[in-house]
Structure 1
Amino acid sequence: MPDDIRRALIASLFGTLPIFAGGVVNSIMVAAIIAGRMATPVFLGWLAVEVAICALRLVVLLTCFRNAARGRPTPTDVYLLLGVCWAGSVGFGAFISLLSGDWVIATLACMSAAAMVGGVCFRNFGAPRLAAAMIVLSLGPTCLAAPFTGEWIMVATFVQIPFYLVSMRMAAYKLNGLLVTTMRAQAENQHLARHDALTGLPNRVGLMHAIEERADRRVALLYLDLDGFKAVNDGHGHAAGDRLLTCAADRLRTLLRSGDFAARIGGDEFVVVARGVDRRQASSFGERLIQEIGQPYDLGQGLVVRVGVSVGVALAPDHGEDVPDLLDVADTALYLAKTAGKSRCVVAEAPAQAAGVV
């Protein structure tokens, strides 16, 4: 399973505070009512354990929310373990209530445990094994108590409860499968919408999205155009042209630093966005791209071709913040690079300077 989907499934287990509060209020209220009716050490101890577990779950949940908002690690394992403990506490309450011989509290405790099962299944179907464990711990103890109630009819729970547990477990896995399938399809559609099908690089939409979400305001946008690509494409066929574009994209990836990215925005045009570089560094990077991408390409079947690359550079925020503005400035610089003899890098002048390039 892809990491992004796994992270989303884990995040879904936390739910929201209102959902959390509903389950906590119900279980504590039931435990308090029963402990008030049966004020024995075992029931009072159960109430104390229930309150302690729910309080710890609230503290851990708030910690997870706070850490996630700050981009810090969350105590997810502790939160899930406390969820399992909570289910065990609910099941224990049903167990001792059935053994008490008081059918009022037994009914109340078992109704609470049964009501919890539905919520556990549909709230935790992102992790079906967790849901199954919580269902077994919350409702399974009623089967263990049945032989000791003195009522032979309770033996029916040995058929009823396991059947119910299996059904809810299957429902959790089914919902999980549907959710994962939907998330995979959504992720694939988003990838296709933002990436070039031939090279796998981001397309124009992906480029705009990446620049808009950048953390570093100072970036250089390098607009690349392959010199001589049309001759290869026309002289050796579109298949050779596609292989050349794929090879150029692969070579481009190897030249990127951490945090940089490249995109293909159409035909033989590529864009590289380099973060945290100044005018001189952008020019130096452009020259390196010209040198490396201009090396010969072995396209197979004995076909070796060589193309050049012209580069126009725009700087953010000097030449603007928006992608269209940066592309326009870089495109103008690229035109000047081509008219100056191709296989050149031209950095657009700062707006405060006279019109032209350096």
Structure 2
Amino acid sequence: MSAALARFDRLAGWLLGSRTEVSGAMAVRLQNGLFASVPIFIGGIVNTSVVAAIAAARQPSAAFIGWLIFELLLGVIRITVQLHGRRAIAAGAHPPRLLAALLSCVWAGSLGVGTFLCITSGDWVLATIACLSAAAMVSGMCLRNFGTPRLSAAMVLLALVPCMIAGLLTQEPAVPIISAQLPIFMLTILSASFALHKMLVSWMSTTNELERSESLNETILRSSPDYILILDRDYEVVYCNRPDGMWAEPFAPVGQNWLSMLAEADRPLATRALEIAGAEQPANIGIHRLNSVGERRWLDIAVNRTSDASGRFIVVARDITHQKRTEEKALWMAQHDALTGLPNRTVLQARLDALLADEGRRDGHAMLILDVDHFKSVNDTLGHDAGDKMLCILAQRLGDVLEEQDLVTRTGGDEFALVIAAPCEAAVEELTERIFDRLREPVSHGDRLLDCSVSIGASLLPASGGSRSEVMKAADIALYAAKAAGRGQLRIFEPQMMLDVEQHQTKMTAARQALKRDAIEPHYQPKVALGSSRIVGFEALLRWRDRNGRLCGPDGILPAFEDPSLGEALSEMMLRKVLDDIVSWRSAGVEFEHVAINVAGGDFRRGGFVETIPDQLLARSLPSTCLQIEVTENVFLGQCAQEVEQTLRKLSNHGVRIALDDFGTGYASLSHLNQFPVDLLKIDRSFTEKLGSSPDAEAIAATVINLGHCFGMEVVAEGVETPGQEAILLGMGCDTGQGYLYAPAMPADDVPAALAEQDDALRA
């Protein structure tokens, strides 16, 4: 059974195939031609049946009657197979191609046999009718079946070979000649059939390629994220690849003029782009418009002219909204502070440049710089989240106070800058008063209320400078003056402030140079016991030499002591040199009791400088009693008081004595004398110099002396310059004096001689 099916498949493949190689899909289309050309198909059946009926009527013999009956039955069968095949093709199923081909061959053979009977019947009218009918049917065979040329050839042979044989068997002289010409006719018509088949295959191949190309192009166009339009010469839309896309509103209406779909403001650009494209040059424009939901969308549009002679234009519109938004976001981030959302220094500088360049607007404006007071302590004690919250609330409150045309920026850290409309200093003061009032409300963070105090420096435009840098520098200088004056207040720039800052910078530079040149030189002022006039110790005082070798006092580098890095470096160098001098004296056999050095509050905050004193004494094999520490009252104040107490107590436990310097001039209370390990009280020179002339000064000095003795402390008076002052202090019971009455501060090399001179005087 399977072998028979295989043979049938091979027969069908040969009969319905051709020598021209075609694809499987095309072969199926060619073979399905058996079920096409219905008029020719029906006409052949009807024509053959009619000829058979005429033959049966003119020659009612069994042969003709049988031919008629066979043709009728065969016609019914072929029509049934034809209808079934067409339904199968429509349903996507396989039609009975081999059966239809074999039935076609049977019909062609029936036609040939019937024509044979008619030619050999001797009825030349019937023969003529049959021959004409056969010729017409052969033509129909070739026209209808040139998609399957072998089947066409088989049908032609089956129809004409009997006719050729019949012609040779007749006695009419002209008929055999016609029969002899039939092979030529058959070759000609078969050649034409095969030629038509080649043309059909070529046409179908070309059509398939064109359809595939069009399908591919259509797929590419519809898959493209861009919107592609084709315009005719009049700029009307003839094609749109995405009529149902989100941009359907501006682009979908095929037949409308493209320019009319654009916004009025964009039409000149689009017209110019079309003109450029019309000159065979590519053109690009960028437009934006609102879509159906009111969302702004950006388009980058490229316009080109087609390369054919149609004069059409291709418009490709790419949605670059995401790119634009990314660019806008990057630009916003480049011009704004990420934490507060305020404009940054770049925007501030641009505003100042614009104002200063516009002579008609720059007058009547001012720049303010705000700095949060004690902001570092907030970050250090409560964390950066508290500091960030304070900055955000400050930014919001500043925005509430300012007018719409004013500018508030964050320029970094805890610093804000404002550019405001202010025709005079009074307007600046009025605004800053509103700022101070708004900031008096504390900031809530968890269960804590934080003070939000600021210092403000202001500069007026253009009085403070004609350039942006000058205006900003002036505001910075005014801010520095506000901080120096006690914070929480406003200072408006004045020229004298510039001189103060320059002096400050000069002193800072001098300190750096002195450190770099190792030009710090401790000088030692004797401390004398008032009862015996014996030197009981020295206070180390800082001196330094400038570039010219002149010896200078600490006032020339005073601001450096407030700078964290410079202050620490100065303190470390001073301590190192004092200890080295002590080692030198002890090595030379010089007998002295102690040296006192001054320690500022910053030395306690700079990460362990004071804590290293015991280790440095131990490294030099020096006893702790040879060194005293002098601190001022403000060291006991502030948030680090507990750490200061712990550090001083460690030094005291180690044997280092602690002196409270400038007592009576600060904010210390009696509780501090009991809380902190203080061994000595020093009366400030401002009281000593008034002894004998001011009863108040004498009362204060007496009170300090009595208070110190009550706490078991030694009392030292600074600035003793006259014998009268010494006599008053001695009468009050003061223990020690220090001042020019005894000796000025001296270099380390003079200390041994001063001690020796004292010993000689005491022995005499």
Band of TM-score, shorter chain: 0.5 to 0.7
2:163 matches 1:142: yes
* Cα distance in structure 2, aligned partners of 1:178 and 1:194: 24
1:49-76: CA deviations, max 9, x gaps? Answer: 1111111100000111112222222111
1:212-248: CA deviations, max 9, x gaps? Answer: xxxxxxxxxxx9xxxxxxxxxxxxxxxxxxxxxxxxx
Q: Which residue is equivalent to 2:133?
A: 112
Q: Which residue is equivalent to 1:126?
A: 147
Letter aligned with residue 220 of structure 2: R
Out of 159, 178, 185, which is 1:157 matched to? 178
SS at match of 1:156: helix
Query: How far off is 1:27 after superposition?
Result: 0.8
2:205 matches 1:184: yes
Letter aligned with residue 209 of structure 2: E
Query: How far off is 1:13 after superposition?
Result: 2.6
* Cα distance in structure 2, aligned partners of 1:192 and 1:153: 57
Out of 174, 185, 193, which is 1:172 matched to? 193
Letter aligned with residue 75 of structure 2: C
Report if the CA contact (8 A) 2:149-2:194 is conserved: yes
Out of 49, 72, 78, which is 1:57 matched to? 78
* Cα distance in structure 2, aligned partners of 1:204 and 1:147: 66
Q: Which residue is equivalent to 1:254?
A: none
Letter aligned with residue 120 of structure 1: M
Query: How far off is 1:203 after superposition?
Result: 4.3
Query: How far off is 1:152 after superposition?
Result: 2.9
SS at match of 1:12: helix
* Cα distance in structure 1, aligned partners of 2:38 and 2:122: 36
Query: How far off is 1:150 after superposition?
Result: 1.5
Equivalenced residue count is: 212
Letter aligned with residue 25 of structure 2: D
Query: How far off is 1:207 after superposition?
Result: 5.7
Query: How far off is 1:206 after superposition?
Result: 7.5
Query: How far off is 1:23 after superposition?
Result: 1.5
Letter aligned with residue 26 of structure 2: I
* Cα distance in structure 2, aligned partners of 1:124 and 1:41: 32
Q: Which residue is equivalent to 1:24?
A: 45
Query: How far off is 1:153 after superposition?
Result: 2.5
SS at match of 1:195: helix
Letter aligned with residue 50 of structure 2: M
* Cα distance in structure 2, aligned partners of 1:190 and 1:65: 24
In structure 2, relative to structure 1, the CA distance for the partners of 1:182 and 1:207 (3 Å cut) is farther
* Cα distance in structure 1, aligned partners of 2:116 and 2:50: 17
SS at match of 1:73: coil
Q: Which residue is equivalent to 2:266?
A: none
* Cα distance in structure 2, aligned partners of 1:170 and 1:147: 24
* Cα distance in structure 2, aligned partners of 1:179 and 1:165: 21
Report if the CA contact (8 A) 1:128-1:176 is conserved: yes
In structure 2, relative to structure 1, the CA distance for the partners of 1:35 and 1:173 (3 Å cut) is same
Going by fraction, where is strand more abundant, 1 or 2?
2
SS at match of 2:60: coil
Report if the CA contact (8 A) 1:195-1:206 is conserved: no
Q: Which residue is equivalent to 2:757?
A: none
In structure 2, relative to structure 1, the CA distance for the partners of 1:113 and 1:203 (3 Å cut) is same
Q: TM-score, normalised by structure 2?
A: 0.26
* Cα distance in structure 2, aligned partners of 1:20 and 1:204: 42
* Cα distance in structure 2, aligned partners of 1:106 and 1:54: 22
In structure 2, relative to structure 1, the CA distance for the partners of 1:134 and 1:193 (3 Å cut) is same
Going by fraction, where is helix more abundant, 1 or 2?
1
Letter aligned with residue 210 of structure 2: N
Rg larger for:
2
Q: Which residue is equivalent to 2:220?
A: 204
* Cα distance in structure 1, aligned partners of 2:168 and 2:198: 37
Report if the CA contact (8 A) 2:55-2:126 is conserved: yes
In structure 2, relative to structure 1, the CA distance for the partners of 1:163 and 1:206 (3 Å cut) is farther
Q: Which residue is equivalent to 1:90?
A: 111
SS at match of 1:112: helix
* Cα distance in structure 1, aligned partners of 2:55 and 2:209: 52
* Cα distance in structure 1, aligned partners of 2:223 and 2:46: 48
Letter aligned with residue 66 of structure 1: R
1:137-190: CA deviations, max 9, x gaps? Answer: 112211111232112322213431001000000001111111111111121222
SS at match of 1:71: coil
* Cα distance in structure 1, aligned partners of 2:64 and 2:117: 8
Out of 51, 66, 71, which is 1:45 matched to? 66
Q: Which runs of 5+ in 2 are unaligned?
A: 1-21, 226-240, 242-317, 327-764
* Cα distance in structure 2, aligned partners of 1:68 and 1:128: 21
In structure 2, relative to structure 1, the CA distance for the partners of 1:62 and 1:206 (3 Å cut) is farther
Q: Which residue is equivalent to 2:100?
A: 79
SS at match of 2:92: coil
Q: More deviation in 30-39 or 19-28?
A: 19-28
Report if the CA contact (8 A) 2:164-2:180 is conserved: no
1:10-47: CA deviations, max 9, x gaps? Answer: 12232243332211111101100111111111111111
Report if the CA contact (8 A) 2:108-2:159 is conserved: yes
* Cα distance in structure 2, aligned partners of 1:193 and 1:70: 26
Report if the CA contact (8 A) 1:61-1:79 is conserved: yes
1:319-352: CA deviations, max 9, x gaps? Answer: xxxxxxxxxxxx99xx79xx9xxxxxxxxxxxxx
Q: TM-score, normalised by structure 1?
A: 0.55
2:8 matches 1:13: no
In structure 2, relative to structure 1, the CA distance for the partners of 1:16 and 1:154 (3 Å cut) is closer
SS at match of 2:35: coil
Q: Which residue is equivalent to 2:464?
A: none
1:92-113: CA deviations, max 9, x gaps? Answer: 0110111111111111111110
Report if the CA contact (8 A) 2:149-2:197 is conserved: yes
* Cα distance in structure 2, aligned partners of 1:83 and 1:206: 46
Aligned residues: percent identity?
38
Moved over 6 A (4+): none
Q: Which residue is equivalent to 1:312?
A: none
Q: Which residue is equivalent to 1:310?
A: none
Structure with the bigger RCO (C-alpha within 8 Å, sep 6+) is 1
In structure 2, relative to structure 1, the CA distance for the partners of 1:24 and 1:207 (3 Å cut) is farther
Report if the CA contact (8 A) 1:142-1:157 is conserved: no
Query: How far off is 1:195 after superposition?
Result: 3.4
In structure 2, relative to structure 1, the CA distance for the partners of 1:207 and 1:38 (3 Å cut) is farther
Q: Which runs of 5+ in 1 are unaligned?
A: 197-201, 209-222, 224-264, 266-330, 340-358
Letter aligned with residue 150 of structure 1: Q
SS at match of 1:140: helix
SS at match of 2:202: helix
Q: Which residue is equivalent to 1:214?
A: none
In structure 2, relative to structure 1, the CA distance for the partners of 1:161 and 1:40 (3 Å cut) is same
Q: How does 1:196-275 map to 2 (within 5 A)?
A: 203-205=219-221
SS at match of 2:94: coil
Out of 208, 216, 222, which is 1:195 matched to? 216
Letter aligned with residue 117 of structure 1: V
Letter aligned with residue 177 of structure 2: A
Letter aligned with residue 204 of structure 1: I
